[in-house]
Amino acid sequence: MLQGLDVVYCNLILYFLGLWHVFENIVENILCPSSNTNDDIDLSGKTAVITGCNRGLGKALCFELCKRGCHVILVCRDPAGAHKVAEEVSQLIPVCGTLGTCEVVYSDLSRLATVKACVKALKGLLKSRKVNFLICNAGIMAPKHLNITYDGYELQFQVNFLSHVYLAHGVLKQSLVADDGKVVFVSSFAHWGASGNISECFRCLDRYNGKLQYCNTKFFDVLIARELQKRILQGYYQHNYASIACLSVNPGVVNTKMAREFCINEFPTCLNGIIAAIFGVLYSVTLRKPEKAACLILQALQHQNSSTYISRGPFGSWTPPHLPSKKISEGISAELWDVLRQDGWLL
């Protein structure tokens, strides 16, 4: 019964807040069709690590960083696609300084072994450099059917959250992050629809609901950013990371393949073709351009305060940091950390 109420609440949040974001997108796309380019941000000499760069927001963010001179390491499960993105980067025109470069590291976030290998590979690639920006962006959204990973977890929970926790913890533990670096978890307004039930999310094999689990992954992204920041300030890591900022960012409802497929899948399968044709015309107006969402993250990377949730504001303006959800508390953040450690994600 309780989970049934959680699912109803989750659906209400997704539909009503989603419609509000769509309304914002329509106004923004009509009144401000061009992207906020943030051309004055010079990232020459900086290094970024981004997961999920082959398309959508990750690809747009890679482009925006490289146009400002940043060296970007693309972490992905499709190296061929990532190398194609790197080739496209070489054709860009820099807006500040010289054009940045790209490297590719393989990792399938649905398999912990490849994430462990990714941390080792990053250590070898970086050499004397440090990671200035770690952006945990990769994700999947609300599969209709339960999928179990090789490691025994629900697929989107491991991809969206667990593997990113291991990656962030790994690079911090190996002292690979710059003293003033930023660790960013790409969250969503959907975190408002989370149940916040930690044990159920780790072992949701009996009562799976794709939308609710997606909301929970984004809720935990917000939680882990806050808890990771707290642990850093408490000296959890041997390296002195006093100036690091851990952030969670809501970029809005972005025009990505993941968002488009989610919209189509809300309708009966027999109507998918018709809905796809109708939405194909509407996407450019109702969904936010990836370039604009990437610019919000660029702004977040320049932000100085730590342990904050940053969201797009009304009609595309940048919202000052604020607490995202009334469910956020020190207690649940600490509980999540303990469960992650017990399950081996913080070794």
Residue 218's pLDDT is: 92
From the list 23, 19, 71, 64, the residue with the least C-alpha distance to 44 is 71
**Which tokens belong to 185?**
């978890």
Query: Maximum CA pair distance of the chain?
Result: 58
User: φ, ψ for residue 189 (rounded to 5)?
Assistant: -60, -20
Residue 271's pLDDT is: 58
Residue appearing with tokens 């990371």: 241
Query: What whole-number distance in Å separates Cα of residue 131 and Cα of residue 177?
Result: 4
Residue 264's pLDDT is: 59
**Which tokens belong to 237?**
């890591």
Global model pTM greater than 0.75 = yes
Residue 331's pLDDT is: 79
Which residues of the chain register pLDDT less than 50?
Answer: 1-2, 307, 314-323, 326
SS3 category, 51: strand
Residue 246's beta-bridge partner residues?
A: 183
Residue 208's pLDDT is: 84
Residue 31's pLDDT is: 73
Contact 60, 294 (CB under 8 A): yes
From the list 121, 110, 118, the residue with the least C-alpha distance to 161 is 110
Is the four-CA dihedral 151, 152, 156, 157 of positive or negative sign? negative
